[in-house]
Structure 1
Amino acid sequence: MGRAGAHMGIAGICTKAIRFCCDRRGVAAVEFAFIVPVLLIMYFMTMEASQAIETSKKVSRIGSMVADLVTQQQTITAADLDAIMQIGNSTLRPYNRSTPEIIITAIQVTDETTPRVLVVWSRKMVSGAFSAAAAKNSVTNVPPALAIKGTFLIRVESNLAYQPIITWSVDSEKRLGLSSAFDSLSMGETYYLRPRRSPTIPCGTC
């Protein structure tokens, strides 16, 4: 009787082990637990990439729009330039994790034998604050194709340190690990345009 009971006990254990190995009811849940993190990472990376591309386009649009507005003026003031740069800043919405840097520079290429490229006036917006940029009559650079004697140019530089949402924090705490490598992505564009309504665009208050 003891041997029979032991035999039946072993057989029962074997039967349960076989049933356990053949039981597939929990496989879907286990697979789901493994794949969900991967799907979430792919979702957030796709979302972040699309937002970064859209923001980069907006940064380029800032330079184009600001240059277009400035070159339509016959004369301008520092207050006008500040207002135009603020309009450019607003085009980034709804992105608001960092502010763009915008620099507007009026450039005169002299008509000398060896032309010099000089700053006539310059204004910038950095971290939402407005101030003068490059000093008047300081030497600057333009692409060789634009260095034509006696010409006047408006240059607009727009730059942004893009902060991905996956690394951004309200309290600005230092982040470690992989996310810190993507903490700030540089985006920027430079546009040159000529005045449309007059040979030059003076700024009396710059």
Structure 2
Amino acid sequence: MTGIKNNRLFSLLRRFRSETRGIAAIEFAIAVPVLLGIYILALEFAEAIEVNKKLGRVAIQVGDLVAQQPKVTPGELDAIMSISGATLEPYRRSAPTITVTAIEVTNDSTPKAVVLWSRRYTDGVAERAEKPGAITEIPQALKTPGTFLVRSEASLGYQPIIAWSPAAKQGLHLAALDELDMLGERYYQQPRVSSIIPCGDC
């Protein structure tokens, strides 16, 4: 009896090993999640690069517009920064932070970069950024005594598409992707029409 059972078992094993029906379905079930994951990661990577490029354009536009003014007011700075933020469209998952800072390099033997005024704009809210008179850091190559600089910065906490919806984050266990590292760009420009750009009440 035992021999008969063993023969049946070996027969079933041989049949299982030689059975090829359903292999394609199994391969498909294994491959699809992997391919889908690669596709989503490629999509996110490409969009993050595009958003970072747009952030660079925002920083350049803001600095260029401010550098063309003989003087500015807080309202004018806020308008420039709010309009330039539209460059990021159609990305809407998080708001950029745009900062403009006027810097004067002292005539000391060891030049220092001193903040004359600074303004920050985030999601419709404008405020003073760095304190006037504070010492700030600039590249060593720009520390020419008596130089006036406009520093424009744009930064953004990038939110991936797959982690945008709270329900998606919870369902896919993607809380760690709530907000990735900040993307950001910074540029320095000199005034176009005057040696210095004052800003009252900044």
Q: TM-score, normalised by structure 2?
A: 0.84
Residue 22 of structure 1 and its aligned partner are, at CA, apart by 4.0
The aligned residue for residue 132 of structure 2 is 136
The reply on whether 1:96 has 2:92 as its aligned counterpart is yes
2:56–2:184 Cα contact (<8 Å) kept: yes
Q: 1:133 to 1:23 in 2, by over 3 A?
A: same
The aligned residue for residue 195 of structure 2 is 199
Q: 1:20 to 1:143 in 2, by over 3 A?
A: closer
C-alpha RMSD over aligned residues: 3.0
The reply on whether 1:76 has 2:72 as its aligned counterpart is yes
2:159–2:177 Cα contact (<8 Å) kept: no
Structure 1: any 5+ residue segments left out of the alignment?
A: 1-6
Question: 2:171 and 2:15 mapped to 1: Cα distance?
Answer: 49
1:102-181 correspondence runs (5 A): 102-170=98-166, 180=176
The reply on whether 1:28 has 2:32 as its aligned counterpart is no
Residue 191 of structure 1 and its aligned partner are, at CA, apart by 0.7
Question: 1:18 and 1:110 mapped to 2: Cα distance?
Answer: 87
Larger Rg: 1
Report the secondary structure of 1:66's partner residue.
Answer: helix
The aligned residue for residue 185 of structure 2 is 189
1:11-90 correspondence runs (5 A): 22-90=18-86
Residue 21 of structure 1 and its aligned partner are, at CA, apart by 5.0
Report the secondary structure of 1:91's partner residue.
Answer: helix
Amino acid corresponding to residue 116 of structure 2 in structure 1: V
Aligned length: 198
Structure 2: any 5+ residue segments left out of the alignment?
A: none
Question: 1:183 and 1:135 mapped to 2: Cα distance?
Answer: 28
Question: 2:51 and 2:116 mapped to 1: Cα distance?
Answer: 31
**Identical columns (%):** 45
Residue 180 of structure 1 and its aligned partner are, at CA, apart by 0.7
